[in-house]
A = this chain, B = another copy of it.
Amino acid sequence: MVKYCSDLTDRSSFIWKKYTVSPEPIPFRKISKRSQNQKIILKAAEKVFAEAGFAGATTQLIADVAGLPKANVHYYFKTKEELYRRVVYNIFDTWMEAASAFDTALGPKEALSRYIDMKMDLARSHPYGSKVWAAEIMHGAPIIQDYLEGQLLDWSKDRGQHIERWIKNGEMDPIDPAHLLYLIWSTTQHYADFGHQIETLNGGRPFSDAQWKAAKRSVKTIILKGVGLTPD
C-alpha cells in the first residue's frame, strides 16, 4: 500500500543520499536516532493535540510528554504547525491503508463486514489520531483539505460505484452509497472520538475485550441488516 504523505523520515534519508557525494552505506545510526526521536515526539504530539486541541497544545507539554526539553522538539520540527501536519498526515495514511479492507472483489457482505471490523480496530488502536482528525475536520480541514478533495473523494467515488453495482445486481438493498459510507465512518469513529462519553455511560470503565467484540458485532449487525444483507 502506498504511503501518501508520511515517512518524511525515510524521505529525508533519501534526500540525504541523493545530495551527498559519498557512496557509503547510509549512516543509519544517525538516521535511526532522528526517526526514533521523531517517532517519540509524534506520538506525544498526537496525544496532546487530541486532548487539548491545536491551540491548547503547548510545545512545552508535548516536550514533557515526550520526555525531552522543548528546544529539542523544535529542533526536529521547526514549528508547531509542521508537527501538527505530520500527525494529521499520519492518521490519514493509516486510514487510507485500512480503506483497502473495503475490498470490492469480495461481495458486499464481506467487503462491508471487513471494512467495519478494520475501522473498529482502528478506533480502538488509534483513538488519539481519530480525535485529531475529527478536530481537523470540525475546524474546516485547514491542513488536510487537499487530501479530502483528492484521495478521499476518489476513494469514495470508487467504492460508491461498486456499491451501486451491487445494488443493480440485487446483491443488496438500494441505498445512497454516500450515506452508507458516512454511517460507517461516523459509527466506527464514534467509539474513538466519544470514547469518554461511552466510558462514562459504561460505569466509568473502559471497554473490555468482550465489550469491544460485542460492539463490533452490534455495529455490523445493524448496518448489514440495514442494507439488506444477512449478518452471520
Please name all residues of chain B whose beta carbon is closer than 8 Å to the beta carbon of A228 when the two chains form the complex.
225
Chain A interface SS verdict (over half): helix
Q: Which residues of B contact A158 (CB under 8 A)?
A: none
- State how many angstroms separate the Cβ of A225 from the closest Cβ of chain B: 5
Contact mask for chain A residues 165-200; partner B; CB cutoff 8 A; 1 contact, 0 none: 000000001011011101101110111011011101
> Which of A9-17, A26-34, A35-43, A137-145 lies at the binding interface?
A137-145
B196 touches A137 (CB 8 A): yes
Q: Which of A45-53, A68-76, A77-85, A98-106 contacts B (4 or more CB under 8 A)?
A: A45-53
Which residues of chain B have C-beta atoms less than 8 A from A1's C-beta? Answer: none
Flag whether A218 is at the interface (Cβ < 8 A): yes
A176-B214, A201-B178 known; A183 vs B222 contact (CB < 8 Å): yes
Q: Which residues from B are CB-within-8-Å of A65?
A: none
> For A21, what are the chain B residues with a Cβ–Cβ distance below 8 Å?
none
Identity of the chain B residue whose Cβ is nearest the Cβ of A144 in the assembled complex: B197
For chain A, the bracket of interface size reads 35 or more
The answer to whether A186 touches B182 (Cβ under 8 A) is no
Q: Which of A50, A138, A222 has the most CB of B within 10 A?
A: A138
**Complex Cα distance A185/B153, Å?**
25
A95 is an interface residue with CB less than 8 A from chain B: no
Complex alpha-carbon distance, A181 and B63, angstroms: 39
* Nearest B residue to A214, CB-CB: B176
Please tell me if the beta carbons of B190 and A186 are within 8 angstroms of each other in the complex. Answer: yes
When the two chains form the complex, which single residue of B140, B173, B189, B222 contacts A180, counting CB atoms closer than 8 Å? Answer: B222
Instruction: Please report the C-alpha to C-alpha distance between residue A139 and residue B138 in the assembled complex, in whole angstroms.
Output: 14
A-B contact pairs, 5 of them (CB 8 A): A134-B193, A141-B200, A153-B201, A175-B218, A222-B223
